[in-house]
Structure 1
Amino acid sequence: MPVARTDWNDLPAETRARVEEHTGPIRQAATMTEGLNSAVAALLTTDTGEVFVKGLRRAFPRRWTQDMEWVIGPYVAEVSPRTLWRVEDDEWDLIGFEAVDGRHARFDPGSPDVALVTDVMYLLGRTPCPNLPLKTAESRWKPYMDDPDDLRWLAGDRLLHTDYNPLNVLIADGRALLIDWAWPTRGAGWIDPACLILRLMLGGHTAEEADKVCTDLPAWREAPAEGVNAFAQASLTMWREISQADSAPWKSAMGEAAEEWLQHRIRTSA
């Protein structure tokens, strides 16, 4: 479920004062309307420029996503807006990010953004996973694998983003940047292209077209067919479970895309 937004001026004065210790006086604050997972999402204007702040109440069940974004930030500065500071008090947990003048990516067929996304995925694919207490791909997809032996295909030493919702990709200055690192994961490098394929299909690509988008990514070229097939089946199981728990149209559409992709994998692997 989307998280209700809290405007900057509705935060406690003490919290705002602690942020201004990092930014200087806030001259203007604009609450963002897009995105689902942050209670605070605002562009702050200061005497020295702009900064983006996002955050959650400390009591919020998924507040741990703030921990993930903060801990991974220094390792993804090449592909993401930089993390600048963090403010935590008894009620709120806020992170300041480098403000980027951009827009969210478009994933429809023919969109020039798609090539920029694979470019940033190539850069991320060269990034070894840092020695941090992150989720592993095996643990994340274990509940959805029919055969536990197939989990071996997911193991690896690459840093993965895994959530290629277009809202998590900013297009700015002719390049793509990845945002919302709530689920940094250690695993096989081909998993990120596989996750992108389903999002491209949701954007209007066929399974074959989406697969071709990833053709030049080294990790995808080297992906084991048997492992990808097992992941495709697990993705279908996962999205069916998600859409049954929440009937939001886009979640049902992800389930349909996962089914189409699995059938494509079965046909092309035969």
Structure 2
Amino acid sequence: MKPAAFTYHAPTSVGEAVGLLAEHGDEAKALAGGQSLVPMLALRLAAFGHLVDLRLVDALQGIERREDGSVRIGAGTTQATVQRSEEIRAAVPLLARATPLIGHFQIRSRGTVGGSLAHADAAAEYPAVALTLDADLEAESPRGRRTIPAADFFTGVWSTALAEDELLTGVNFPVWGGRCGFAVEEFARRSGDFAIAGATVALRVTADGRLDRCAIGLFGLGPTATRALATETGLLGTDPTDAVPDDLGRAATENLASVPSDLHGSARYRTRVGAAMVARAWRRAVQEALHG
């Protein structure tokens, strides 16, 4: 099939792009890498009267270390650029480790950081990483710029807190210092497929080996990526080696609501897989934090 007819726009600035989105309202859609949107248009699962291509907006590109120590990534930066970045590998290792799990290299060469976050697929890696690391997302509209915490950004299946006239322009990732460990684990039936279930873990230990920071992200297990907040809270102040990884995985996934059930697996199966992914990621993150 072919997409329904639309008017094509190729702005060269954020202001121009935002103006087009505001002018055309819900008839306009921003196009980043197009790895999700273009197939949906081709299959006529989505149709828009105006397509706003962001590839020529240079202000959406790039990776920079900010004065507050965080790392800002422009929304139009490709996943392949993130994968090649030594800055990301050193400062935001969880993001660096999640990136090679996204599709295939052809997809990563066109897919963008902002496109993945704004598409908000519950089985995608980047939303889970943003949640786990407490990232802040930047949005711009004719009313100005605002910052949205990742915890408030993902609102449902393929939906976010962005208004119709808002454009995601960048994401800021905090840089964790100290004795930290990071890990991402996912299970997919074939390499490059969306994960049936996955987990991200980030933790930090004090000099005496106690957890003073802990985050457990889950993806593929609900309408959005999510955090196992109750489990995280119970772990703070403890020795991470005291936790039994399999028990921890079950605790992190036992109270999930709306776990999907489809031809790839029942809700019960996905939950069991998710628990196993949490256990694997926990072991790896603890090993890194304690032994490097």
Normalised by the size of structure 1, how large is the TM-score? 0.30
- Structure ranking higher in strand proportion: 2
- Structure ranking higher in helix proportion: 1
Normalised by the size of structure 2, how large is the TM-score? 0.28
